[in-house]
Amino acid sequence: MTSIPTVVVAAPSSGSGKTTVSTGLIGALRRAGHRVAPFKVGPDYIDPGYHAVAAGRVGRNLDPNLVGADLIGPLFAAGSLDADIAVVEGVMGLFDGRITADDVADADPIGTGSTAHVAALLNAPVVLVVDAAGHSQSLAALLHGFVGYEPSVRIAGVVLNRVGSPRHEAVLRQACARVGMPVLGVLRRDSRLQVPSRHLGLIPAAERSVEAVEAVDAMSEMVGAALDLDAIVALAESGGVTLSAPWSAADAIADAEEGVRSERPHSARPHSGRPVVAIAAGAAFTFGYAEHAELLRAAGAEVVEFDPLVDRLPERAAGLVVGGGFPEEHADKLAANHELREDIATLNRAGGPIHGECAGLLYLTRELDGHHMTGVIDAVGRFGSSLTLGYRDAVAVTDSVLYRAGERVTGHEFHRSVVELDAGAPAWAWRDHHGASGVHGVATSNVHASYLHVHPAAVPTSIARFVRACKPKET
């Protein structure tokens, strides 16, 4: 069995500086000659974008809620191929995971899908990033509590962030020494380490382009100078993660095809050749899991990315995927691309498979905040005042190009917009955290659109169905 040096970057709470430290650490290690595999715990799409800029390779997610605990090891192994060290950024506070009524009743010390959960699954050491701006000697009590709370999670060192002065640093170091906690680095308060944000968190790296690269360079330089990289590498080596057999898109699709064929036992593949599946990208549509395109290719598709702000639909496109992002920030430019909107309408009229998630749902409506969209579904979208956030255990209620009625998934919702549907069969049903049930999204014979983000590695059968429904167009 092979292993890879690994470190998990966690914090006592959100807003402590995990993304700054993780991204800077990834960039600093790369500058030092390492091949770094970057990961993010949870469903977040934005942080992996910054990781990718720092590492020079795709950032991936590890979320037991979305894919199940059994897939964490294989997905980690797949993302670590050809790397010599892995950095895993946590989510929220170290022990914060999905909260259900059962979790509250059982008082499980490790939240499902939390950073601690993933660290325990990987058996990887944890570095705790503490926002020290409001701490003094009491930091010792906080660290004592975190270290002793759950013995299966090994907190091996601390990074002190937003330290105010040399005197402040000395007091904090003394507090860490009291509980035997190694200090792996100290970051002073510095506005250059702030990444711009808006209503759903950080601005994606793909939107900021040159600014994102400059921000990552600044993080890499300052974090690299402030942290003891040799000590962190030694820590990662001391707790190297034993790699399981890596997840394979080809194997996942091969298994999925078995199930798809069993739905129609005597049917052959409906077409030959590699259909083109167009994936929306660019500044308006930046959210997607790397495994999605890998599964599409494994299922036989030729994947072509395009920017809906300026491009036409790729030539010979037989299917369309529009993932998450911020179309509300670019609604005027999306509306102005009349040729693309007509291309998509034509694809829809021809029965071409179309898959929209969250931002994709908004783009497929008739209009968004008064701007014309594609009109694939009979609905209107608008930016709202309240945030909808959380995991959803959903059941498909309508046969579609992706799912069969009755199939179950766990997905994630994260949006401030609202879509008012005028017609169409629903895609999903679920109960929210208040226990209220409802139906969501739209599903037709060729369209599946909803707010629910689903990790494709958990549902490869849906990808196999989608590609089978794409009819290759002649050159």
- Is the separation of the CB atoms in 467 and 319 below 8 Å? yes
CA distances from 321 to 28, 331, 361 (A): 35, 18, 11
CA angle, 293 as apex, 398 and 89 as ends, to 5°? 100
CB 291 within 8 A of CB 266: no
Tell me the catalytic residues.
358
> Rounded CA gap, 73 and 121, in Å?
7
DSSP string, 315-334: TTEEEEEE-BS-GGGSHHHH
Residues 6+ apart with CB under 8 A from 66: 43, 113, 391, 410, 411, 412, 454, 455, 458
DSSP assigned state of 421: E
How far is the C-alpha of 159 from the C-alpha of 443, rounded, in Å?
A: 48
Q: Please say whether the beta carbons of 309 and 338 come within 8 A.
A: no
The sign one gets for the Cα dihedral 463, 464, 468, 472 is positive
Contact 36, 235 (CB under 8 A): no
Instruction: Measure CA 253 to chain center.
Output: 21
> Residue 279 forms beta bridges with which residues?
305, 321
Query: What SS3 state is found at 374?
Result: coil
Please tell me the chain's helix, strand, coil percentages from 3-state DSSP, rounded to the nearest 5. Answer: 35, 25, 35
- Nearest CA to 219 out of 134, 129, 285 is that of 129
> Are 109 and 264 a contacting pair, CB within 8 Å?
no
Instruction: Give me 76's structure tokens.
Output: 């980690």
DSSP E strands, 18-136: 36-41, 60-62, 85-89, 126-131
DSSP code at position 291: H
The angle formed by the CA atoms of residues 331, 193 and 4, to the nearest 5 degrees, is 95
